[in-house]
Amino acid sequence: MYSKELKNGFVIKEVSQQELWSALDTHFNEAFSNRTDAKPTWQIDDASKEKIAGRQQSMVRYHLRLLVYSADNEVVGWHFGYSTDAETYYMQNSAVLLKYRNQGVYAEILTAALEVLGAEGFQVVTSTHHPNNAAVLIPKLKKGFVISSMLLHERFRLLVELKYFFSSERRKSFDKQMGLEFNP
């Protein structure tokens, strides 16, 4: 499993689903304390819930779960996501706890995730974000992600989709389709 020492005494490690969920149970609300939630106003009937759960269980997906620890073994942040198809990975959630922000930890998480995903042979990495989340958008744009679309989600509201292409040729093709030539 992936493990790497980072600057400032931090360590990033690939972890099991149980370890990730345990860390999220403890730290998720703190990491997203500024979030406002649009609670769903709809209900999913039990038969549909059962079918959805069955599909979720039967799908074989690649999952990546990373936790970042401080030198004293405290959780600092995380990343988790999954493959949406054989060549595309979706970065579902990443966060850094408030007291560890502005120390480059998110950029390190991003670098580590791309390192692992590239080694796994993924071609494209996608993610969605609130358009005013500069703390995530700026590091991703600096890393080479590009804005690929905007969408209005019924629960999470307006989101920006970003894509990262491991192949510069594929990125050039994407940019050309968007109307601009890619000049790295």
Residues 161, 149: contact at Cβ < 8 Å? yes
Domains of the chain: 3-38+47-178 (3.40.630.30)
Closest to 91 measured CA to CA, from 37, 162, 27 = 162
- pLDDT tens for 50-97 read 877 776 676 678 899 999 999 999 999 999 999 998 889 999 999 999
Residue pLDDT, tens place only, 157-179: 999 999 999 988 888 888 888 77
pTM metric for this prediction? 0.81
Token pair, residue 105, equals 């930890």
